Amino acid sequence: MTRPSQLLHPPHPPVPTLPAATVLLLRDGAQGVEVLMTRRSPRASFAPGAYVFPGGGIDALDASPETHAAADRRPAQDDLHLTQAIAAIRESFEELGILLARHADGPRKGGMADAHDIAAIDRHQPFAAQCQARGLRLAADSVYLLAHWTGDRDLPRRFEVPFLVARMPEGQTPVADETEQFEPVWVRPADALARHEAGQFFMIFPTIRTLQRLAKFVSTQAVLDAVAHEQPLWMSCPRAGLLGGKEARYMEDETPFGELALVCPDGQIVHPLDWQTERPVPLLRNVQRLTAPNPGVMTGPGTNSYLVGDPATGFIAIDPGPADAEHLDKLWRAAGGDIRMIVCTHSHPDHSPGSKPLQALCVLAGRVAPPILGLPSAPTARAASAFTPDRALQNNELLTLSGQSPEGKITHTLQVIHTPGHAANHLCLLLQEDGLLFSGDHILNGSTTVIDPPDGNMADYLDSLDRLDAACAEHGVEFILPAHGYVLGGPVNGARSAIAKLKAHRLAREAKVLAAMQALPDGNMDDWVRHAYDDVPPRMWPVAQRSLLAHVERIRALQPGNN
């Protein structure tokens, strides 16, 4: 866990959450699934003027034994989910006059409530008791959990909200209460999103993301089938940063999320997410990132150079990048000229060539030459990746900075972890005091690294992932700082989760490679890449062929008789 003393911003704990529930009422239209939405009052305290799904706060009566006894439930529907379903049923009636209830007995036993029932129930009086008086049971068993949202940490009023789904009862017509909700409308998710983009249908972030995912379903039944297992399809507590000077929000599976969790754990909206090369980006008080001006297909926004340390301890420069004079000058200046060591995670030309010019810059300024550390390139490396450090690092070696700050003695310790796979001489660095992993090219954010034989090796790569997972478990690592892209991880979807997903992705790709080889035993690399990488744009297939070859080599090595 990151030391509180290294956080950039003073603690600002989020306000507590309030329980609420919302329901997506669905029907099948001529062009697919439609969802019922309404416009909130412009005077509402939360999301004024936004188009939303019906819902609201959970009342004490929703959770009472008497109300639970008046509702039908599924065997797997626990008390909490029953309470949430009841709240959603009540809110959809109070706001839109939609009654998810069925007759308990009589000639209409099992039949859904109709217009006469709806007209007889007062929206402003206790709901469940009125339903019971008319012989109606709440149809909570027809309300399923789709997702779970927790209000963003920066909001002054936050809710803990299950997003539920139910089929719209036949024969009922939504009528807004004209107090909290207005203008009920049936809309296809894709149309709602398009209208929002055009500025005609204002929606808040959770509504937008929910509609984006709902748009992938072809029918109401497909949605209900997907949620029949009683587990949410996703859970999220979004985070926000600044992009182009404006607030931008992200879910856990979106690339900026981990960086926002590291820099602004309390959810403060202060961190800029724009990629730029002019100045370093502080991530913690003891970690800065300066991105080299070498964006491209293989480098993403550019190569990330990192500075670990502070003025009291001096700095370790990680991956100085290409031999770009302006980039190296900015890196040197960001360290106040006090660079104690230069470490290269591996010898590829976008990582190590800047090491000697940076060292020379320090000497020119009258400093002791910081040693260039790393592993020498193997004979299998390409000519452009030749690299010889001043000293070769040992696996599990510790690189330590220490000094005296106004708060007392401070230490920053980087553990060296040899991680061959992307390159034979690849290594990662683990900042022990703050639980951070500098992953070089072994783990990237937003893409998978290329494994290019003979210097790259897929078996070594997967073994190295296991080694990193063990190190992260030992030191409680939550965040991964890659050489390309934003920080990954966080307290929930941490470093180990990112590693597990990456390994699963690699093995799933390998299964597709094996299937292609079996389906086309006489095929060549061009044939196999078309089948195994059919989800990748064809323009990327030449690059993908390098990793495909690494998979082929591993598959053949695992076959009986090849060991």
* Nearest residue to 18 via CA among 43, 46, 41, 49: 46
Q: What average pLDDT does the structure give for the chain?
A: 94
Q: What proportions of the chain, in percent to the nearest 5, are helix, strand and coil?
A: 30, 25, 45
Q: Please give the Cα distance from 406 to 265 (Å, whole number).
A: 24
Cα dist from 125 to 83, 120, 128, 129, 136, whole Å: 19, 11, 9, 9, 16
Q: How confident is the model at residue 177 (pLDDT cuts 50, 70, 90)?
A: confident
Look at 108 and 360; give whichever has higher pLDDT.
Answer: 360
**What are the backbone angles phi and psi of residue 143, rounded to the nearest 5°?**
-110, 125
Mean pLDDT calculated for residue range 389-396: 98
Structure tokens at 104: 């308990």
Strands (DSSP E) found in 260-344: 281-284, 287-291, 304-310, 314-318, 339-343
Mean pLDDT calculated for residue range 336-347: 97
Asked if 351 contacts 440 with a C-beta cutoff of 8 angstroms, the reply is: yes
> What was the pLDDT predicted at 563?
53
Q: How confident is the model at residue 109 (pLDDT cuts 50, 70, 90)?
A: confident
Q: What are the residue ranges of helices labelled H in 285-373?
A: 325-334, 355-364
Asked if 22 contacts 160 with a C-beta cutoff of 8 angstroms, the reply is: no
Going by DSSP bridges, is the β-strand pair 398-405/17-29 parallel, antiparallel, or unpaired?
unpaired
Q: Please give the Cα distance from 316 to 325 (Å, whole number).
A: 19
Say whether pLDDT at 89 is over 80.
yes
Say whether pLDDT at 173 is over 90.
yes
Say whether pLDDT at 430 is over 70.
yes
Q: How confident is the model at residue 562 (pLDDT cuts 50, 70, 90)?
A: low
Say whether pLDDT at 106 is over 80.
no
> What was the pLDDT predicted at 182?
86
Lowest-confidence range among 100-114, 258-272, 309-323? 100-114
What does the pLDDT look like over 36-66, one tens digit per residue? 999 988 887 778 889 999 999 999 999 999 9
What does the pLDDT look like over 133-165, one tens digit per residue? 999 999 999 999 999 999 999 998 999 999 999
Say whether pLDDT at 561 is over 70.
no
Lowest-confidence range among 104-108, 199-203, 209-213, 363-367? 104-108
> What was the pLDDT predicted at 490?
84
Span 283-492: which CATH code? 3.60.15.10
Say whether pLDDT at 258 is over 80.
yes
> What was the pLDDT predicted at 105?
84
Is the domain spanning 17-236 CATH 3.40.190.10? The answer is no
Report the share of the chain in percent with pLDDT over 70. 99
Mean pLDDT calculated for residue range 401-413: 92
Q: Which residue has the tokens 């992938």?
A: 216
Say whether pLDDT at 219 is over 90.
yes
> What was the pLDDT predicted at 262?
96
- The contacts of residue 92 (CB under 8 Å, 6+ apart) are 23, 25, 54, 55, 98, 100
* Nearest residue to 442 via CA among 412, 413, 463: 463
Q: SS3 for 4?
A: helix
